[in-house]
Amino acid sequence: MKRKLFYLLPHRWYILILLLCANQVIAQTTIKGKVTDKKGEALIGATVALKNTAIGTVTDVNGNFALNSPK
């Protein structure tokens, strides 16, 4: 009986860790947008970042960007 208990115990830790990691993935928000100049033309290669974080991205050829932020 003791062997069976010790055999099952490590698997429960893996399940707990997976559940905690899944919670972090779900708690993210995707921010999408388009960067344009005063004329309405797309800005290519503009840097977009969240204030006071190291989270950022660069706009594509159409001025679009998407980044994941913590909730």
Domain limits, the chain: 2-70
Q: Report the SS3 class of residue 21.
A: helix
Assign 70 to helix, strand or coil: strand
pTM: 0.60
Print pLDDT tens along the chain (71 aa). Answer: 555 555 555 666 666 676 666 655 566 788 999 999 999 999 999 999 999 888 899 999 999 999 988 77
Let me know: does 43 contact 59? Beta carbons within 8 Å: yes
Given the structure tokens 């960067």, which residue do they identify?
A: 35
Instruction: Report whether 46 contacts 37 (CB < 8 A).
Output: no
Q: What is the residue-averaged pLDDT of the chain?
A: 79
The residues near 62 (Cβ < 8 Å, ≥ 6 apart) are: 34, 42
